[in-house]
Amino acid sequence: MEEAVMLAGKAIGAGLAMIGALGGGVGIGLAVGGAVQAMARNPDFSSTIQTNMILGVAFAEAVAIYALVVSLIILFVL
């Protein structure tokens, strides 16, 4: 019984932690949207824009990844 409660708590906690992925998703969407617009307007600078986009996406993704790591730790480590 105790274990079941603990498992439930873990599952709920991991699920809640993944809410943090929301921000990352929105951020990546905005970044890529902006980058695609910029590339469409100015195709000559595609490579530069793409580099910056990947970096920005990596940073935005990092937040979501932190949430993921927290939830993974809750599930598999705690």
Partner 1 sequence: MTFNWSGKRRWVALLLLIAGFVVMLTVPPVIPVIQLPGEVWPNGWMTNTLAASIIVWILLILLAFYTRGAMPKGSNEVPRGGFYNLFEMAFEGLYGFVRNITGERYLRYIFSFFMTIFLIVLLSNWIELIPGVDSVGFLHARAQSDPATGAVEVEEGFELNTVLPGVYALDPDCPWLSPEETAVMTVEARIAREQQNCATGTTRVIEGPEALVAGAEHELEPAADSESAEAGVEAAATEAAVAHEGAVTGDTEGAVEEGGRIDEAVEPDPEAAETGEPQEERLEAVHAPTGDPRVPWHIIPFLRAPSTDLNMTAALALIAVVMTQVLGFRALGIGYLTKFFNFRTLLTSPLGGIDVAVGLLELIGEFARILSFAFRLLGNIFAGSILLFVMSFLIPFLPWPFFILEFFVGIIQALVFALLTAIFMNLATASHHAEDEHGHAEEIPVEASAVGEMTPAHP
Partner 2 sequence: MEGLGLNLGYLLVQIIAFIVIYTLLTRFLYDPLTNVLRDRRQRIQRGLEDAAAAANARRNAETEAEKILAAARAEAARVVEEARSRGEDVARSVETEARAEADRIREEGRVRANEERDRQLADLRGQVAGIASAMAQRLIGESLDQKRQQTLVNNFFTQMPANAKTLSGSVEVVSAMPLTDEEQARARRDLGAENVTFSVDPNILGGLILRSGDRVVDGSVRSGLSEMSGRLR
The residue among 32 and 72 lying less far from partner 2, judged by its C-beta, is 72
From the list partner 2, partner 1, none, partner contacted by residue 78 (C-beta under 5 to 8 A by kind): partner 2
**Separation in Å, CA 23 to CA 17, 30, 36, 61:** 12, 11, 20, 9
Q: Is residue 66 at the binding interface for partner 1, with CB under 8 A as the rule?
A: yes
**Separation in Å, CA 59 to CA 2, 5, 37, 44, 63:** 39, 36, 20, 25, 7
What's the one-letter identity of residue 48?
T
Q: Is residue 17 at the binding interface for partner 1, with CB under 8 A as the rule?
A: no
Binding stretches for partner 2 (CB under 8 A): 73, 77-78
Where on the chain is the footprint of partner 1 (CB under 8 A)?
A: 48, 51-52, 54-56, 58-59, 61-62, 65-66, 68-69, 72-73, 75-77
